[in-house]
């Protein structure tokens, strides 16, 4: 059955105006390159200017018309910084269709040793950053509709030892996502989040801080609990295509969801 308003599901992301926070590294960087390669007009935001510029340079080199990629410094935990960066980018692109909000930090510490300042710092980036970036995107999308994709984590669902503060921020991202999905649906905006298990600099840093024994336990657990591959996925192969689907017309009827892109880890619990 068809309907007059149906957008062809194969329309893809070409021509869409896409903001990517955390675009200098990991999954954000993969999104910047992949979306430009598929014809989207991308703005990347990060604190790491050197890496951010490098990524958009690579994205421009591989872009397909009308794809483009630009970079702006933006601290997602700072309201003025988010407002200024989003306004500047929307001014250049003429609006916003998709926000991919990948900026985040993942410090580790045993729960009883987390300091108040450590707690506040990870909440400022992961939870407040989601709130600020989503609100700023809403202002740009509320009359036209759009897609917001946040990054939660399995940590926010099943917990993650040594990362209680990080896990708590991801629980907040999940609850925020579901709530604004309910509020903003009438504006034609879908809001979803991911629970990825993807090899990125964040994951490699976490591994580098683990003892040999803890690493062996982690690898054994992944081998037994992850039905696909038994190890973390690749950002370009396993994550970017999922982002493109959620950002594109084919996902218009899906909102408030948490998509586990994790080889099946969460499903097995």
Catalytic residue positions, numbered:
166
77 binds ligand NAD (CB under 6 A): yes
Q: d(Cα 254, Cα 189) in Å, to the nearest integer?
A: 10
Binding mask 39-68 for ligand NAD (x = CB under 6 A): -------xxx--------------------
What Rg value do the Cα atoms of the chain yield, rounded? Answer: 18
The rounded Cα 168 to chain-centroid distance in angstroms is 17
User: Residues of 241-251 as b/e, b for ≥16 C-beta within 10 angstroms?
Assistant: ebbbbbbbbbb
- Cα 198 from Cα 241, distance rounded (Å): 13
CB nearer ligand NAD, residue 86 or residue 151: 151
Q: Does 28 bind ligand NAD (CB under 6 A)?
A: yes
Strands 189-196 and 68-73: unpaired
Contact at 8 Å (CB) between 236 and 34?
Answer: yes
Binding residue for ligand NAD (CB under 6 A) from 121, 203, 249, 264? Answer: 203
Structure-block tokens of residue 153: 């984590």
With CB under 6 A as the contact rule, the residue among 66, 161, 201, 241 that binds ligand NAD is 201
Q: Does 105 bind ligand NAD (CB under 6 A)?
A: yes
Binding of ligand NAD at residue 153 (CB under 6 A)? yes
CB of 7 to ligand NAD, least distance (A): 28
Q: Which residues bind ligand NAD (CB under 6 A)?
A: 21-22, 24-28, 46-48, 74-77, 102-106, 125, 129, 151, 153, 196-198, 200-203, 232
């Amino acid at each position: 059955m068809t309907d007059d308003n149906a957008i062809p599901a194969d329309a893809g992301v070409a021509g869409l105006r896409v903001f990517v926070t955390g675009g200098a590294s990991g999954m954000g960087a993969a999104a910047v390159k992949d979306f430009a390669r598929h014809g989207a007009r991308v703005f990347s935001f990060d604190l790491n200017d050197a890496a951010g510029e490098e990524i958009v340079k690579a994205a421009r080199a591989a872009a397909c018309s009308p794809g483009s990629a630009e970079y702006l410094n933006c601290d997602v935990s700072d309201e003025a910084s988010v407002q200024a960066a989003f306004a500047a980018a929307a001014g250049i692109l003429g609006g916003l269709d998709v926000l991919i909000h990948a900026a985040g930090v993942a410090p580790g510490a045993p729960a009883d040793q987390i300091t108040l300042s450590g707690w506040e710092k990870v909440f400022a980036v992961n939870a407040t950053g989601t709130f600020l970036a989503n609100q700023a995107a809403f202002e740009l999308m509320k009359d036209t509709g759009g897609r917001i994709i946040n990054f939660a984590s399995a940590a926010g669902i099943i917990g993650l030892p040594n990362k209680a503060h990080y896990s708590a921020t991801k629980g907040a991202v999940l609850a925020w996502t579901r709530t604004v999905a309910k509020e903003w649906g009438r504006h034609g905006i879908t809001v979803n989040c991911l629970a990825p298990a993807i090899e990125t600099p964040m994951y490699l840093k976490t591994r580098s801080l683990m003892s040999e024994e803890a690493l062996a336990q982690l690898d054994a657990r992944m081998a037994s609990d992850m039905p696909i591959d038994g190890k973390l996925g690749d950002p370009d192969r396993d994550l970017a295509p999922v982002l493109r689907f959620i950002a594109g017309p084919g996902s218009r009827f899906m909102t408030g969801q948490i998509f586990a892109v994790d080889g099946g880890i969460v499903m097995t619990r």
